[in-house]
Amino acid sequence: MDSSSNEVVQDFSPLVKIYKDGRVERLVGCEYVPPSFDPITNVNSKDMVISREDEDISARIYLPKLNDENQKLPLLVYFHGGGFCVGTPFDPAYHQFLNTVVSQGNVIGVSVHYRLAPEHPVPIAFEDSWTVLKWIASHCGGNGPDEWLNRHADFGNVFFSGDSAGGTIAHQMGIRVGTEGLPGFNLEGIALIHAFFWGVERIGSEAEKPEGVAFMENWWRFTCPTTTGSDDPLVNPAKDPNLGKLGCKRLLVCVAGNDLLKDRGWYLKELLEKSGWQGVVEVVEAKGEEHVFHLFKPNCENAVSLFNQIASFINHS
């Protein structure tokens, strides 16, 4: 074997390593758990292929225990994190998270599987996610390909959510709903969990964490080679001329106290309030916690609180 095949040319630990021969080694997010009935939460799940042209675009659909066979429920569309590079809805941590949120929120859930960088560089993740949303919206008249969505989804009461890079996607999908629309599809709210927003200008405590800042700068260019840089509107809401067109009425921004991205979450609230957006934004902070802590410590007090906040956000009248 050519020894160069083991030479690392880009090391983005703890996410991915890229080797000289082009091989991509994903260090996390590769575990798979099948869809199933979860006896703890009474949530059932199944997988659906969304794009017949590319089976990498798919979704896991979740249905909670029903009161009757025709019950309509709010719809939650979830976008997983992983830096656009790793992770799937089929990862055990995400599967457990969706079972919990779907049960506590009493919603029907769709967890989106988009294609990953670097093989499929950003903005492919955004385009794949929009493809899934159009597929979901095709059920609005009750004649879509999935019977759970046809029978049980209330398309007048739709929510998006996502963590880390998935939060970035959820935000951008909200902008796209506001600018392009989805017929028959009312986006009521978005819950962002430790969303990846960035920018050239340092804010808050970012200047005190040069290593983290350098990682973010390099990682964004790695996942999106065509980007204009850290002020790309895809990741910097301050540079997005469509920010005020965010297509929902309510926004919940969850941040973690020890997360490098914390200040960007608070800054988003400030930006939205100045943008002319007519909705209501709330920021909640989990003190002393790290980035996406709830996936690694789902039973800790702050994670339980986070799940309750999301469920309350969805069921807010």
| Residues identified as active-site | 164, 259, 291
Query: What one-character DSSP code corresponds to residue 245?
Result: G
- Cα(77)–Cα(174) distance, integer angstroms: 11
> What is the residue whose two structure tokens read 């599809």?
185
> Is-cis flag, bond preceding 118, omega within 30?
yes
The alpha carbon of 148 is separated from its chain's Cα centroid by a whole number of angstroms, namely 22
Supply the DSSP symbol for 290.
P
Pairwise CA distance, residues 165 & 295, whole Å: 14
Q: Residue 240 and residue 67: Cα distance in Å, rounded?
A: 43
* 24-43 exposure pattern, b = at least 16 Cβ within 10 A, e = fewer: eeeebbeeebebeebeebeb
Cα atoms found within 13 Å of the Cα of residue 281, Cβ hemisphere only:
22
Largest CA distance in the chain: 63
Nearest to 241 by CA among 266, 212, 276: 276
DSSP 8-state assignment for residue 4: G
